[in-house]
Structure 1
C-alpha cells in the first residue's frame, strides 16, 4: 500500500502506494533499486502482487509537512480496490479515503518489466490527472521495496516505498523520504490495509 507528493499522494500504496504521495513542488525520477529489491532480479516476480487482488479497508496516516520537523499526522479511513491486469503482470488500484483534513482519491498502475524483473509503480491523484514518474523496485523474501529520486523545496531527496505483510489479510504500506542520500529516513505515509472478504476482485 501507498499519500502521495502535494499530496500528489505517493506507498503505497498502496499504494499505497508508491510512493504513495507527492507534495506540490516535487519533481521526480526513478533511481536504482536498493540491494533488497535488486535481489529479486534473479526470479520471476510477475505474480508478486497477486496477494493484493481484491477489496481492502484502508487506514492512512500522513505526516502533514515532511522533512520540516513536523510531528503532525493526519488520519484517513476508506477503501482500496485492486484489480488484476494481463494475468498478473499489471494491476490497477483505486484508493479513496476521507479524514478531517479532507478527501484523497488516488489511482495507481503497477507494471512488471520481464526484462529487468522489476515493477514500476505509477500514481496519479484526482486533483492533477497526470501520472508521476514511477517508483521502481521489487520483492525479496516477501518484502517489497521501491525507490525514486525527487526534489523537494530545492533539495534532492530519495523516496522509498515499502510493502510488508502483517498477516494473510493485513498488509502495511510505508513511504519515507531521505535528504541525506539514504543515511536516514523520515516516514511520512503509513497505510494499513485489511482485506474485505468477498469484495470486488477478491482472489481468494
Structure 2
C-alpha cells in the first residue's frame, strides 16, 4: 500500500491559466470545511458571479468559435461503477488513502440545459447520497458544476448553493476550477476529466494552497460502464 498511498503533487506547469471557478462532480464539498462565497440562483436563472474570476472575453470568443461544448458530457449518460481512491486528509502531507466502490447514474436535463447524476457510495458512509448538477452556458461555452448531498443539501448557512467549479473540455481533457476554503484558509480546487471512452472515464480532484503553483491530488475515480440493475 505504500506505493498507493503516495501524495501526488501537480506542478504549476500543468495548470491552464484563465480557467476560473468547477463539478463539485463535484464532490469537493466533502470534508473541505469551507465557507466560500455562494453563488445564488435566481428565478430568472441568472447567477450572481461577483465573486468569480472569469475567463477573459478574448479567450471565451476564441474557444466558442472553434467548437460547441454543449454535448461534452454526453459520454456520462447511463449507469456506472466507480472505483474510488481518496486521500484521508487534505493538504496536510497525508499519505494514507482509502478505497471504496460507488454506483452512479447520469441523466440529461431537458432542452440541453445540462445534466445531473447521483453518487451512491454504498457502505462508505451509511445513508450518504451525492448529486452533481452540471449547467452549460452557450454564451461562454463554460460548464458550471454544483455538488449537492443529503447531509447539507449543498447549501451554505444563508441557503445559497455553494460555488460551482467552472471550466471546459479542450482536446478531450476537461479542466474545472474554483476558489474555496479549507480549514479557514483559501485554496484552489481543480477537477480533471480524462481517459474518456464509450465505457470508461477517469475523474480526479486536486487542491492547491499556493494559488495553483503546486497541486495535491486527493481523490481519483476510475469509472466503468455497467448494465442497468448491476452494482
TM range (shorter): 0.7 to 0.9
Displacement of 1:153: 1.9
* Residues 114-148 of structure 1: per-residue CA shift (max 9 Å, x gap): 11110000111211113421110011111101000
Give the aligned partner of residue 116 of structure 1. Answer: 140
- Say if 2:179 is the partner of 1:145: no
Q: How does 1:21-170 map to 2 (within 5 A)?
A: 21-28=29-36, 30-32=52-54, 40-42=63-65, 43-99=67-123, 104-129=128-153, 130=155, 131-170=161-200
How far 1:113 sits from its partner (Å)? 0.5
Distance 2:111 2:75 in 1: 13
Deviation per CA, 1:34-69, whole angstroms, max 9, x where unpaired? 9xx967443211111111100001111111110011
Q: Secondary structure at the match of 2:75?
A: helix
| Change in 2 beyond 3 A, CA 1:73/1:103 | farther
Q: What are the Cα deviations for residues 150-178 of structure 1, in whole angstroms up to 9, with x where unaligned? A: 11122211000000125431100000000
Task: Using structure 1 for the length normalisation, give the TM-score.
Answer: 0.80
Measure how far apart 1:24 and its partner are: 4.6
Q: State the alpha-carbon separation in 1 of the partners of residues 36 and 140 from structure 2.
A: 21
CA distance in 2, matches of 1:168, 1:65: 33
Q: Runs of 5+ in structure 1 lacking a partner?
A: 1-14
Task: Determine helix, strand or coil for the equivalent of 2:103.
Answer: strand
Question: What secondary structure does 1:27 align onto?
Answer: coil
> How many equivalent residue pairs?
183
Q: Distance in 2 between matches of 1:24 and 1:174?
A: 16
Structure 1 outlier segments of 4+, above 6 Å: none
Q: Is the 8 A contact 2:187 2:210 kept in 1?
A: yes
Distance of 2:30 and 2:36 partners within structure 1: 9
Q: Is the 8 A contact 1:16 1:191 kept in 2?
A: no
Q: If the length of structure 2 is used for normalisation, what is the TM-score?
A: 0.71
Instruction: Kindly state the Cα deviation for residue 33 of structure 1 after the two structures are TM-superposed.
Output: 5.6
Measured against aligned partners, the alpha-carbon deviations of 1:8-43 in whole angstroms (never above 9, x if no partner) come to xxxxxxx67225443252123554469xx9674432
- The structure with the larger Rg is 2
Measured on the aligned residues, the alpha-carbon RMSD in Å equals 2.4
For residues 100 and 22 of structure 1, the distance between their equivalents in structure 2, rounded to whole angstroms, comes to: 13
